[in-house]
Structure 1
Amino acid sequence: MSSRNHDERAVSFAVPDEADDWLADEAARRGESRDEICRRLVTAAAAVATDDDPTPTAESTDSAVATHNDDTGPETGGESDD
């Protein structure tokens, strides 16, 4: 069994040019790194994929974000367009 902490695991993959452009723009808009954006997207996808309820609610989404923020710190930068 690996003695590495889950936080030390790294994943590297290539994305299509269009997705890479979006990722760079989104990271700049939010004042975050591309790694932070990818980490949040994968964390959210995992939370949705492992939820027994196939229809995420605002509460379950907020809970997943809060759990992520507890683990990594709050989101920085960017304002909501609402």
Structure 2
Amino acid sequence: EETVLHGFNTEHVYSAPHLTMDSHVLCPQVKLETVDPKTCSPKEYLETFIFPVLLPGMASLLHQAKKEKCFERKRTKFIACD
């Protein structure tokens, strides 16, 4: 099932094999006709203009960090007791 959020295709962004749409919480959709970026509420602005760009980027960043093993503890040969 393809999900479109404010004209933004989330299937394209979450196409990595390990990611599923069930693991992501999507923001509620707001109709584009009724949202004016200069007069809408901060919540509507974030959900309409910021989150559709920011959240997929953050997901991609975390995916790449995991791929590069950034979350694993690095072992060193230094022994502090010596």
Question: TM-score normalized by structure 2?
Answer: 0.28
Structure number, greater radius of gyration = 2
Larger helix proportion of the pair? 1
- Higher fraction of strand: 2
More relative contact order, 1 or 2 (CA 8 Å, 6+ apart)? 1
TM-score by length of structure 1 reads 0.28
